[in-house]
Structures are given as C-alpha cells and as structure tokens.
Chain A
Amino acid sequence: MPEFLKRNRNVLSISLLFLLSGAAMSIWFRAWSINVSTETNNQNQNLIDVINQLEAETVSLEADIDALRSRITGQILTSAETDEYIARLRHELEQMQLISGQTPVTGSGLVITISDNTAGAEAAKQLDPANYYPENYIIHDSNLRYLLNDIAYLADAVAINGQRIVDLSDIRCVGTVIIINSTRVAPPYEISLIGSAALLEGALQESSQYIYLHNKNMPIKVSREENLTLPAYTGVVLATHAQIAQ
C-alpha cells in the first residue's frame, strides 16, 4: 500500500476531494428537500427553536441545582462540627440520598434494550399500505411504564436512557415523543437495572408486558452486566405541598 501511494501521490488527495464532494452533494440535496417541504412549517420551526432553547435552559438549571446540592452536602460533610447529633443527621442524609436516587450508583444487574420495530413497519407498509398503522410498530410510554411495573420492584436502582427513575418519575408522551423526568428520550430505550440479574431476568420472562412486546416482534435485547453506573436524579426534590405529618 505505501508503495502504491508513493507511485500515485495524488491518489490520496483526489480521494479526499471526492469524499468531500459526495458529502457536500448530500448536504445540498438535504437542504434542498427541506426547503421544499418547510415553507409551510415556519411556525413549527419557531416552536422547535423555543423547545431547544428551553431544553438547554433546563439542562443548565439541573446542572446548577446538582452543583449546589453537592456544595451544600460538602459544607455539611466538611464542617468542623463533631457534635454527635450532627453526625447522626449527616449519616441519615447520606442514606436518604442513596436510597432515593439522589446519588450516582454502581453495581451489577441487567440491561434491557427495546427498540421500535422498524423492519416490521417497513414490511407492513410495503405489503398493505392501507392497513398500515405506524403506532403498532413503535414503543409507547405506556409500554415502558407497564414493563417497569413488572420488574423494577426487584431492582435497587433503575435508569432509562440516563434518566434515573425515582418515586416521582413520570413517563409520558407528547405526540410520539417519550418524556421521562421532563427530558426527551429516543429509541433505543435502554433500561438499566441494578440488582440480582437472575431474579430480574426471571421476572422479565414472566412479565405480561414483556411477553406482549415480544409477541409484537419488538426488538428486545437483554444482557447481564457486571459494572453498571447509573446517574443521580437531577430533577425537582423539594416538596411545596407535602410536609412531615405530626
């Protein structure tokens, strides 16, 4: 190969040129096709811009909150207080944060990856376009909810696509977009569970929702993992209506 290159010094630059021109052509083609279709979609584009802007803001707010929580915890942990009362509160706080999903955690467990049945959708569309219903081939928010109901009780910690599942986590959809903890997630949906892989897998096999999705030919991959790391929950924690009952 080096011999070949030496004899044809410009082969490399020519191939690069053609690679780039191909890329440029496709980008131009894409831009052209979008231009044709989006004349009427200006309003939607504005909304998408607003959504992107808001998402950037909430992500940065979450990061600020996370940093602030860490600083407060740091203040508490590094304070010179040696008071027994404070030591006890500190220990309880750490324990509360661990069990309620407010810290990152690691451990072994199971990862279930589910995706839309795009191959099935294509085939159905080709075969009988009149009776093709795209919603039959995608994973819905309810599928994720029902699946979690069947298996999460056996897990110490759960996350879907990097969103830690806590008591207050909602899984909803707007249009065809699934939203977990107010954050958009897209397929494939990777459900990571820390816990006994054997027990989790057993519960999965018996889950009516798993069987349902399996029978619908939704691509599902299950793998046991030794080293899972799940992120901390970064959303709202403070209660504004609930208070500790006397």
Chain B
Amino acid sequence: MPEKSSKTSRLLSFCLALTFLSFAIVCQINFESNSVQSLENQSTDTLVAMVRNLNDYRNRLNNELTQLERTESSRNVTTSLEQQLNSARIFAGTVPVSGPGVSVTITADYDLYSMDVIDIVNELKVSGAEVIAINNQRVTTKTRLTQETDSDEHLFLAMNGERLLTPIVITAIGDPATLEKGLTFTGGIIDNLNTLYGIYPIVRQEQEVIVPAADLNTNPAYMRLPEQTTPAAPDISATD
C-alpha cells in the first residue's frame, strides 16, 4: 500500500511538472513575439507612418509590375531585351544617367562627419532617389565614407579613400519635390543638422542632374550564380 501511494505521488508530481513546463514554453513563445520591435509595442504615430510607407511602396511595386507586363506582352525579343537591359544598366550604374532631382551642398564652413553624409544619402533613398552621387561620383553598395584629419589637424571626409573637396555636393535623381521634402521636413535630417550641430546644408531642386557611371568591378571573385538557376527555378525567398 505505501508502495502504491508513493507511486501515485510520483506520478502526480510528474504531471504537475509537465503542466508547468508546457505553460512555460507557451509563455516563452508569447514573450518572444512581444519584443520591443513588435507592432503591438509601437505608438499610433509609428503605425500610421508604417501604413503610409507601405502604401507608397505598394504603389511603386504596382507601377513596376505594369511596366514589366508591358515588356512581356511586347513579344518582340529585341525590344524587350533592349528595354530590360537599359533599366538594368541604370540600376547597376554602368552608364551615365540624367534626370530631375535635388542637390545638397555643404560648404567648408562646417565640420561634417561621414555619418552625416551616410544619413543624408539614406534619406534620399527613403524618398525614392533612383541614382545618387557625392561630388560627382556615383554612390553604390561599395561606397565607403571616412573622416580623417590632415597634417594641419583639419577634419576632412574621404570617399573610397580619396579626399572629398569642399563644397561637398550630394546629388540625387528622382522627383525633386519629394526628395526635397524628405530632407527638409520638421524633425528630418536637415532640421536635425541645423538645430543640433549648427550645420546648414543648402538643398535645391534641380531640373537636370547628371551622374557619371559607377566605378565597378564587373568581375566579382567570390560570388557566383547558384548551380541550378533556370528561369523556372522555385522562389528562393528570404529566411530570417
């Protein structure tokens, strides 16, 4: 009899442990999805801004889809190929390009950090810039900005290891009004530079911005196409 009761109590504590374990596991899952970055923890303003951004992005994707459908239905291989190639050239930066846009000029009067330039370039991309250049050199994923001091202890900026002469002029091609607004809105990057650091860049809409081709390495040594890339390959989607 005492044999039996000790067995029962062992079973009971085992069951309790299981209950607790599963409770803990599910709670853990909930807590993980409940991080600082989850949507549930964002303010209304943030959520509204996200909706606006996504709407804008959806419109641009729809536009892209329409254009591609037009290309596909053209049925003329040469025309289709030429169209595809031209947009690929602009995107990859192998050709000089022109178009309307903005210029941001920062004179030698201010000590500018490389981070400021990186942030201005990023804001231009956020506002839909299609091509960006700094002092007439196209910005790519391989663009590196650094700050250094010369022999006279003067701070200067370098792009890909070469000193950037002042005034530093950042140019971008895209919708001029949208690009300008993206930089100059209250609480935006220019506002911050003005009020926090006393730096006053000059932002101007431009009818025509010309950006030369990028200095590209067209022979990457380390990356290659995956083995089975056929046009009908299954979607290799992002995994986080």
B44 interface neighbour in A44, A77, A100, A182, Cβ under 8 Å: A44
Number of A-B contacts (CB under 8 A): 341
Q: Please, how many angstroms separate the alpha-carbon atoms of A143 and B131 in the complex?
A: 23
A186 on the B face (CB < 8 A):
yes
B36-78 contacts to A, CB under 8 A, are: 36-51, 53-55, 57-58, 60-65, 67-69, 71-72, 77-78
**Do B236 and A229 touch across chains, with their CB atoms under 8 A apart?**
yes
B73 → chain A, closest Cβ, in Å? 10
Q: Please, how many angstroms separate the alpha-carbon atoms of A148 and B46 in the complex?
A: 25
Given A43-B44, A96-B91, A177-B50: A145 touches B77 (CB 8 Å cut-off): no
A: contact size bracket = 35 or more
A11 on the B face (CB < 8 A):
yes
For B49, the chain A residues whose CB sits under 8 A away are: 174-175
**Do A19 and B46 touch across chains, with their CB atoms under 8 A apart?**
no
B: contact size bracket = 35 or more
B37 interface neighbour in A44, A71, A107, A176, Cβ under 8 Å: A176
Given A20-B22, A25-B23, A232-B236: A96 touches B92 (CB 8 Å cut-off): yes
B73-131 contacts to A, CB under 8 A, are: 77-78, 80-82, 84-101, 114-115, 118-119, 122, 125-126, 129-131
Nearest to A67 among chain B residues (CB) is B235
B4 → chain A, closest Cβ, in Å? 12
Q: Please, how many angstroms separate the alpha-carbon atoms of A185 and B221 in the complex?
A: 29
A237 → chain B, closest Cβ, in Å? 5
Q: Please, how many angstroms separate the alpha-carbon atoms of A73 and B71 in the complex?
A: 11
Can you spell out 29 A-B residue pairs with CB atoms less than 8 angstroms apart? A8-B11, A43-B44, A54-B51, A55-B54, A66-B235, A70-B232, A72-B80, A72-B84, A75-B72, A98-B220, A99-B92, A105-B224, A107-B223, A142-B119, A153-B142, A155-B222, A156-B223, A165-B141, A168-B91, A176-B42, A182-B53, A236-B60, A237-B64, A237-B88, A237-B91, A239-B87, A242-B97, A243-B90, A244-B97
- Enumerate the 3 nearest inter-chain pairs by beta-carbon distance, A residue then B residue, closest first: A162-B238, A74-B231, A175-B46
